[in-house]
Amino acid sequence: MVFANMCRTPILPVLLLALSSLSDIPGWGQFGLKAVDAATQSELYALMDYLFTGYRPEVRPSLAGEATYVYIDMHLLSLQSLDEKSQELESSVILDVFWQDDWLSWNRSDYGNVESFLYPQYKIWLPDVIIENSVQKQNQLGYDENMVRIDSDGWIYWKPSQIIKTGCDIDVSYYPFDTQTCNIIVSTWMSTKTDIDIDPQTGSDGLILNRYSSSGTWELLSNSLEILPNDNDLTRFQFKIQLKRLRTYYILNIILPVLFLSSTASLVFFLPADAGEKIGMGITVLLAYAVYLTIIADNMPQTSLQVSYLAVYLTLLLGLTAMGVVLAVVVLHIHHKPDDCTIGERTERMTRKLRRLLRLYKQKRPQLARVAAPNVPETDGNMQKYATSSRPRSRGSVTPLACEPDSPPPAYAQNIEEEKITWVKVAETLDRIMFIFTGSSIVVCTALFFMILTIGS
């Protein structure tokens, strides 16, 4: 008769269904009950009746009215994603939560030496622990079918698993060589410190990483635990995570293509004006920079608190390229000016100086002509006699040449013809100046960009 009355209670069918899967685990008896000696069915039912008759899960269990101490640890399983634009960190975690319920303890010897058993979480009192900085709707941790373990001393062990999304202040200044710091804040929802006092487990210094699976985007540099001051009498603490972005993907897909593009921006001025592709090449490079700037902007949060140096760098290159297109139009206009349009004296003089400086000055090779030497007067009789003497000469002797002592040295005439300055040469000179200016500006901007990224990151 007693057994029939107990079977009518709604708690037993749920208990039998929830614990039946644990009956085959070594060391655990039927219904997931851990016992030294197997308890009889009547002892198990008597234990359930003893614990849960009149039990109210909405009432905090405290015999003396003192605060309930809840101890929490967190296992980080994986980092699902870190969305820079929405500034959200999505991670998979398991919480280790335990506390003492004074109303769920029993004497083992009275109930077949049962040490502990599993029970659905929604049927007992649970602390209102939440992830404070979650960007999702606040719900009870775990799910209704999740089980808790109840010990004979009244200790409750609860391990809810959760995929959480928390807010994270993203600093994109050094993107993609950046390091981010995100927090996971644990607190109570409504219970004050006089009701519930949550604390990390003794010896805990951060997230437990024995089950952590590495991310392909972020490297976990460090994590730490920090006790926060009470807010409106709510006890709080946080896990601080420091993440470093893995750079290989961004170097191959963003940095190197941008560098290759930057090397082509100044070539617009190296291309001859007669090629007919000067404007087309400039616009192509300009559009390529605009596309990459759009890609970067799509990954950045819409905030003015921090500005990415990469975006600034791309904007500078975009401006230089746009200026190059405008100047290319000016150069083509000068190049195609008619010959009957007179070049000003100042323009001609400046162009000539710049062409000499840039080694573009084309000067014809000097024409050298030897001037005929004057006739040598006839020598006197003594000299002629000496010159026609048949006296044998020694091998080392030298016969002096007959010449006029006051005759001038041979003279050379040089005919130098200066280069004629035309509008084509003016355009060529302007092209070379802009090639050097844009190329130097790009090199300086690139060097400063990488220096800032390397030092800042």
Length of the chain counted residue by residue? 457
pLDDT, residue 56, reads 92
332 and 198 share one domain: no
Contact 417, 364 (CB under 8 A): yes
Same domain, 139 and 265: no
Same domain, residue pair 237 and 261: no
Residues 83, 200: one domain? yes
- CATH code of 302's domain: 1.20.58.390
Residues 129 and 276 in one domain: no
> Does a structural domain hold residue 41?
no
**Do 81 and 199 share a structural domain?**
yes
Residue 123 belongs to domain with CATH number: 2.70.170.10
Per-residue confidence (pLDDT) for residue 166, from 0 to 100 = 94
What is the rounded distance in angstroms from the CA atom of residue 159 to the CA atom of residue 87? Answer: 28
Q: How many CB atoms lie within 10 A of CB 444?
A: 10
Report the candidate in 128, 126, 114, 144 with the shortest Cα–Cα distance to residue 51: 114
* pLDDT at residue 275, rounded to an integer: 79
Does residue 412 sit within a domain?
no
Same domain flag for 242 and 253 = no
One-character DSSP codes across 308-341: -HHHHHHHHHHHHHHHHHHHHHHHHHHHT--TTS
- 240 and 254 share a domain? no
Strand pairing category for 34-35 and 179-188: unpaired
Residue 290 maps to a domain: yes
Decide which of 196, 219, 246 is a domain's last residue: 246
Whether 3 is covered by a domain: the verdict is no
Q: How many domains does the chain have?
A: 2
Residues 64 and 146 in one domain: yes
Task: Write out the residue range of the structural domain in which residue 288 sits.
Answer: 249-339+435-456
In this structure, are residues 177 and 165 in contact, taking their beta carbons and an 8 Å threshold? Answer: no
d(CA 225, CA 220): 15
Beta bridge partners of 414: 368
Indicate whether 89 and 162 sit together in one domain: yes
pLDDT at 152: 93
The answer on 256 and 130 residing in a single domain is no
Distance CA 255, CA 317 (A): 13
Q: Is residue 416 part of a domain?
A: no
| Whether residue 213 is found in the same domain as residue 287 | no
Chosen domain end from 246, 272, 304:
246
Domain assignment present for residue 366? The answer is no
C-alpha–C-alpha distance, residues 372 and 413, integer Å: 12
Averages of pLDDT over runs of 10 residues in the chain (457 residues) are 39 39 42 56 90 91 84 94 90 94 91 91 92 87 88 94 92 90 93 90 84 93 91 89 92 88 84 83 88 82 81 88 89 86 86 84 55 50 45 48 50 56 88 90 90 83
> Do the domain assignments include residue 8?
no
Domain boundary pick from 188, 216, 246: 246
Residue 219 covered by a domain: yes
